Structure 1
């Protein structure tokens, strides 16, 4: 089976998602869509040896070349224009789009299979072949060095700040002012001004040592080295790759108790959140705000209850194995093989 992959070669979520797909599924052809200049990202072309790299969105001719000699096409989030699906259908080539609900737009065509990375809003999507296909964790990227005896080093990945403070960085800063335990908190962000702007009106207590890092690391897994717990008070649902990555590193994840988080991590790691407002990208999305006091209490629980942290760290590693590429690759192979007729 000759897989064609439409990929990104930057340090965005789509870049990580498609890179790991390429590493584990070994596509025959890769078309890298380079829009790094539009987003002020760094391009890493060596991640896909032999790939066709297109600056900007692919043209009809570039898609036609890409579709030569492939049996099935996989893309994450988007077809990058109106050409891919009708051209592939005309050639009898099935397509799979692993979508993110907030960006889902089928106005330019529909893939053969619409693959949901989580169960968030799954029932709201109508498609003749709609399947749940989780994004696997590349557990081999993360060395398993054993657990620290206590949780004192907390990490928050703000990433590239998105609409409505997607990852809940402001909520975290408000909660940290109520934390009682002595802890270290590292916030990683790829926008130098973003966290500084939030901190200008918020003073941290003496027991919270806060570090803000704005470096864009080449290897995403390096972000998690030297940390014990990930704090991700995200304001809306959907796929959250830092959660996958933290589990791969053996880190428990503190998240709001909203869909689909309860399907990913134990309820003991979740904190209450209230719904307040909505916005629209391609689909209407509900916004949530985590309870700041409850978030502070959960951070204190991880920092002070050593048995709770140790058990949670072991659970994180067990969940990483459940969602690993080793466990889920057969599911991907089964899906793609079912779409490609066996040779006569």
Structure 2
């Protein structure tokens, strides 16, 4: 099967998602869309040997050359140019778009050319997308050698990444919750936007919490996960690669008790959240806020209950194994072959 991949080569979620796809699915052709250089961000073309690199969005000529000789094309979140799906259909080439629901243009523009298969990376709003096929994003366990710490958790990690609309990762809620933490812990907040950090009320963090803010851009994403527990009170959203990565590193993840978190993470790791509003992306998206005291209590539980933490580490790694590339690669092969047949 001759697979074409449209990839990104920077340190973003799309960069990681397409890099690991290339490493495990071995596409025949790769088209790297470079939207990083013009924004002053680092590009890592060496991750995609032999790839064609396009500065900015690909035009029709780029796509015609790319599609030629393929059986199926795989792209994540966006086609970058909807001529892609017109060209693949005309050439009898299958196409798979692994979408993010909040950015799915078909919710507003039903007239746009469509891929052969719309693949859902999580169950979040999957019933709102006609014909969507479940296709979770795998994690590469080899990036994360097995490890297990005895005793209780002392090191907690929160990832801001590049700040998104409406404080998607719940950073303000996390900082507020730290006011109520009673245990002696260390906390690292990683953020790729130094200006954003200056707007956080970090002065409210109590003395028993040692807080470090890291604004560096880590070249290797797996080097982010040297803490004990990941804390992500996300306010909305489906796909979130750092959860997979933390689990692979044996790090349990504290998250709100909302979809899709409560469809696959242990209930004991989740904290209550309430709906506080909504906003319009491609459709209306609910916004949630965690209970700050409940989040602090969950952090304290990991920081004081040795048995709870040790068991959670085992469960984290087990969950990651169910989402590993060896487990999910046959699913990807089946979906790609189906797209090629249905083209």
Class of the TM-score when normalised by the shorter of the 2 chains: over 0.9
Query: With structure 2 as the length reference, what TM-score do the two structures score?
Result: 0.96
- Give the structure 1 partner of residue 222 of structure 2: 221
Aligned to 1:123: 127
Which structure 1 residue ranges, 5 or more long, are not aligned? Answer: none
| Counterpart check, 1:188 vs 2:190 | yes
Q: Is 1:295 paired with 2:295?
A: yes
Q: What secondary structure is seen at the aligned counterpart in 1 of 2:204?
A: coil
CA–CA distance in structure 1, aligned partners of residues 10 and 336 of structure 2: 25
Secondary structure of residue in 2 paired with 1:154 = strand
State the Cα distance separating 1:126 from its structure 2 match.
1.8
State how far apart, in whole Å, the 1-side matches of 2:252 and 2:15 are: 24
| 1:182-228: CA deviation from partner (whole Å, max 9, x where unpaired) | 0000000000021221136x421110000000010110000002x00
Equivalences for residues 23-34 of structure 1 within 5 A: 23-34=23-34
Separation in structure 1 between the aligned mates of residue 257 and residue 339 of structure 2, nearest angstrom: 36
Answer yes or no: is the 8 Å Cα contact 2:193–2:215 preserved in 1.
Answer: yes
Counterparts of residues 1-344 of structure 1 (less than 5 Å): 1-106=1-106, 107=109, 108-127=112-131, 130-199=132-201, 202-225=203-226, 227-341=227-341
| d(CA) in 2 for partners of 1:341, 1:288 | 41
8 Å Cα contact 1:148/1:228 also seen in 2:
no
Does the residue aligned with 1:338 lie in a helix, a strand or coil? helix
TM-score (norm 1): 0.96
Q: Output the CA distance in 2 between the equivalents of 1:283 and 1:81.
A: 21
Larger RCO: 1 or 2 (CA < 8 Å, sep 6+): 2
Unpaired stretches in structure 2, ≥5 consecutive residues: none
Aligned-residue offset at 1:68: 1.3
Instruction: State the superposition RMSD in angstroms.
Output: 1.3
- Asked if 1 retains the 8 angstrom alpha-carbon contact of 2:58 and 2:80, the reply is yes
2:96 and 2:339 in contact (8 A); partners too? no
Supply the distance in 1 between the matched residues of 2:339 and 2:85 (Cα, whole angstroms): 15
In 2: Cα distance, 1:39 partner to 1:171 partner? 29
Secondary structure, aligned partner of 2:160: strand
> How many pairs does the alignment contain?
338
Counterpart CA distance in 2 for 1:31 and 1:148 is 45
* 1:43 to partner: Cα distance: 0.7
CA distance in 1, matches of 2:300, 2:55: 47
